[in-house]
Amino acid sequence: MAEKRDNRLATVLALALLAMILMLTGAPGLVNRNPPHDEASTAAIPYTLAGQDEYWRAEYRIEAADPAADDTVSVDFAYQAVFTLAYLGDETDLAEAGSYTVTFAPGTDYEASGKMSRDEPGGFEDTLTGRTPLWTLYYPADTSVAGAIPPMDGSYRVRIQVGGMAHGSTDLTLTREEAQP
């Protein structure tokens, strides 16, 4: 009888300890720890984050998602972010390039990156001249699925590393570009 009571007490204590751990940790996996999309930013859509130096220009355009963009997934996307990079120098310089890695907002919740080598199919030089976006990311309204869109009032670093060419490595700072009238 005493042994049964000790087992019940141990079970109750274990459950109480588990409940306390879940309360203190916020029940990982059960609670959305991602903040919602910034309301001012979603109200301002579309907007463009842009930055450039003498040789490179980067743009990250946030806009409403095209609902027909991808009917193969079961998530309704609310927003899309299109990242475009353009080399501003003489395009013949790009013949020296062998590969690239581009990282948006490294080390932050908004980090995204892409890489490509010349021998991969997909228009290597077109992605470095702005004719083809490097990537398009889709965001549902629920930030627990894919995080939040980068807020329009932020400042974001972009690291560009293009192997094999002069002026191939730089960091740009992207900020909101005012809409052209």
> What is the tens place of the pLDDT at every residue in 6-19?
667 666 556 555 55
Instruction: Report how far Cα 5 is from the mean position of its chain's Cα atoms.
Output: 54
**pLDDT at res. 150:** 94
26 three-class SS: coil
On average, the pLDDT of the chain sits at 84
Residue carrying the six token digits 């590969």: 99
Q: Return the amino acid letter for 33.
A: R
| Whole-prediction pTM | 0.78
Asked whether 83 and 130 are in contact (CB, 8 A), the reply is no
Nearest to 158 by CA among 58, 20, 40, 25: 58
Higher pLDDT, 178 or 56: 56
Q: Return the amino acid letter for 80.
A: Q
Q: Once rounded to an integer, what is the mean pLDDT over residues 99-111?
A: 94
Lowest mean pLDDT among 15-29, 54-68, 85-99, 134-148: 15-29
Asked whether 161 and 169 are in contact (CB, 8 A), the reply is yes
Report pLDDT digits (tens) over 151-161: 999 999 999 99
